[in-house]
A and B are shown apart, each in its own frame.
Chain A
Amino acid sequence: MNPAAPLERIQCQWCQSMNEKTALTCRACGAPLDIRNLVSESGWREAPRLRDMTEFQFSSSTCQVEGEIVPVAEIHLGANDSVFFEHHIMLWKDDNVPLSVLQLPGGLKRAFAGMPFIISVATGPGRIAFSRDATGELVVLPLHPGMEIDVREHAFVLASHQIDYSFVRVKGLANILFGGQGMFMDRFVTTNSPGLVLLHGYGNVFERKLKAGESIMVEPGAFLYKDSSVHMDVEFQKLGTGFFGGTNMSLARMTGPGRIGIQSMYVHHRTE
């Protein structure tokens, strides 16, 4: 037994989990450990590009990421493990995986593409797979105990059952093309045990850590997720052209401390 061996660990720079020295991908988030981070000079870090067929673990389950253009998250649920998700992103499942519905206060008032907004739960053992409707990246966010993140509506693919879920409505947060009617924001909180949140960002996903008081203006369509410590204000920029009354363009001012994630392609799901 070499007493030094446990210290020889590499830390994943995406999710901070410790990995064995020989690991090529992080066991908690699947990020490649042997590839340099891509950071722009303005400080945005590209979300790790998950290698095709990368596998990682959460509680007693595993997730394999398949494909690259529109990646699929395939979950192998352990017994009694469960994940929750929006029903419209299910791709396929084993027929013996039971599905149930999460009770949500006020959830039935919210709608998605004319369908009621329902969070479904799949319980193991068994397999279930998810994908979304456009080119993009899967963002794996393992949550340590006591963390809280806010996510753009309809952007989460799944979350593990240890996570508490709620949502809030943010007024004014929408591109002027969509009349600025606002959008919902999903909130994920861990208390005592760690959990996993899997998101899908349209196009490419970038993350930046804001220092306390540091701020950045983000187009509402680009906002993907943030630590709840990041404060969000909707600000309006008057667009006067002299020919018509003028339009307001809303921008979200994000103020640190904390992480903020953006997506490079804007897809608007009409909020109802």
Chain B
Amino acid sequence: MFCTNCGSPVKDTDNFCTACGSSMNTPVRTPPPDEPAAPVQYSQPVQHSQPAQPAPRAPEPPVASSGNPAVCPWCGADISADQLSCPRCGATVKAPSIRSESGWAELPGRKDMAKLQFGNSFCQIEGTYVPVADVNLAASDSIYFTHHVLLWKDPQLNITTMPLASGWKRMFAGLPLIMMQAQGPGHIAFSRDAPGEMIALPLQPGEEVDVREHLFMLATSNVVYDWFSTNVWYTTQADNDKETHYPVGMFMDRFSAPQAPGLLLLHAAGNVFVRDLAPGETMLVKPTALIFKDPTVEMQLHFEHPRAGFSLGFGWGASSWNNRYYWLRLWGPGRIAVQSVFDRMEGESRYLSNCSPATEQRW
């Protein structure tokens, strides 16, 4: 292990660092003496007091003022009283949950170097702009990841490609998507190529989550990976050029943990916002902003035509484009998450010739 103060290597049995003299007895995550559980000073979420507003049905986090909560507000894991961050997802436990008046909850804060556990392995999340998932894999554990997220690894740690049924269908940046597997013991670390947040999704047996493609970083080997066709597409036509676009990707990843609990790590660009949709409650989101959803949440295209007092179109086909805005309609019940940085959609301004089932609104 290494000294948490100066980084020098120290033996596991050492009480003090031989290089700087820091005590090794203090557990890494033990904080300085507890601040009194007074009202939190920083950016207290605005709890809406206007009863007129339909209250969003997001799970209410336990109130932090009455000592330690028993469950993690983010992943629901049991937390013992002396823990300040959740051992399963790394979320800071006492931080106030930050929720907009409209009901979107921000990803819970996480201290730099927060540590989470899965199986006998640990994962430390380092850095704040483009966080790194630094995994200390135990000999009994293995994880899988996509090839382009690897940052560094111990030389002796073995990585292999993972056979995927019909994997050739999946592409990333023009190259086939290669799923790789790392078997402990050893260290291996991952990061992606955009400033953003790391999302830890511990999956309980029976839980499933759908993730938009290429946001996946890694999963423990007991997480089952599958994908399905999104059936969200539209076709544009310019002269004889016909092109089909998939605003949420042609495929969506589905992760589940059928038997044992597993861990899924995602990386989203910018900030992450989550909300729970009640049965039948709908939300229109930018298709490329969707991160994940519960499988119970359904989705389809939605078009909006803003009203204009003059004709925006010209020539034939003007009516098929006609200043149209593209949305992804999501309806509950279930949880959805969006990211604040998203890609521009392809073909948005071209003439639309065909599309998957969609709803429409003309203002």
A interface residue numbers (CB < 8 A to B): 13, 36-46, 69, 134-137, 175-177, 202-204, 206, 208-209, 211, 215-219, 221-222, 237, 239-244, 247, 249, 251, 253, 262, 264-267
Contact = CB atoms under 8 A, between A and B. Distances in A.
18 contacts: A37-B7, A41-B115, A46-B126, A69-B129, A135-B129, A175-B148, A176-B147, A204-B126, A206-B132, A216-B155, A218-B152, A219-B151, A240-B161, A244-B176, A264-B127, A264-B129, A265-B130, A265-B193
B189 interface: yes
A243 B176 contact: yes
B58 to A, nearest CB: 29
Contacts of A13: 6
Interface stretch (B63-71, B96-104, B167-175, B288-296): B167-175
B195 A135 contact: yes
Interface of B: 1-7, 9, 28, 112-113, 115, 122, 124, 126-132, 134, 136, 147-148, 150-155, 159, 161, 163-164, 167-168, 173, 175-176, 178, 180, 187, 189, 191-195
Nearest to A42: B187
B256 to A, nearest CB: 23
Given A42-B2, A135-B129, A265-B192, 6 more contacts: A42-B134, A206-B127, A206-B132, A216-B154, A247-B178, A265-B195
Contact of B154 (A36, A175, A217, A266): A217
A264 B132 CA distance: 6
What are the 4 tightest A-B residue pairs by CB atom distance, in nearest-first order? A203-B130, A204-B127, A265-B130, A135-B195
Nearest to B166: A243
B163 A242 contact: yes
Contact of B151 (A222, A239, A243): A222
B191 A203 contact: yes
Most B C-beta atoms less than 10 A away, residue of A175, A211, A264: A264
Contacts of A247: 175-176, 178
Give the residue among A13, A40, A237, A247 with the most B Cβ atoms within 10 A.
A40
Given A40-B134, A203-B130, A267 B2 contact: no
Given A37-B7, A42-B124, A239 B147 contact: yes
A217 B191 contact: no
Contacts of B113: 38-40
B127 A41 contact: no
A42 B7 contact: no
B212 to A, nearest CB: 20
A246 to B, nearest CB: 9
B7 A244 contact: no
A203 B5 contact: no
A214 to B, nearest CB: 9
A39 B148 contact: no
Contacts of A41: 1-2, 28, 115, 122, 124, 134, 136
B161 A39 contact: no
Contacts of A241: 161, 163-164, 167-168, 176, 178
A136 B115 CA distance: 23
A242 B113 CA distance: 39
Contact of A204 (B2, B9, B129): B129
B191 A264 contact: yes
A42 B191 contact: no
A219 B4 CA distance: 25
B7 A43 contact: yes
A212 to B, nearest CB: 13
B302 to A, nearest CB: 33
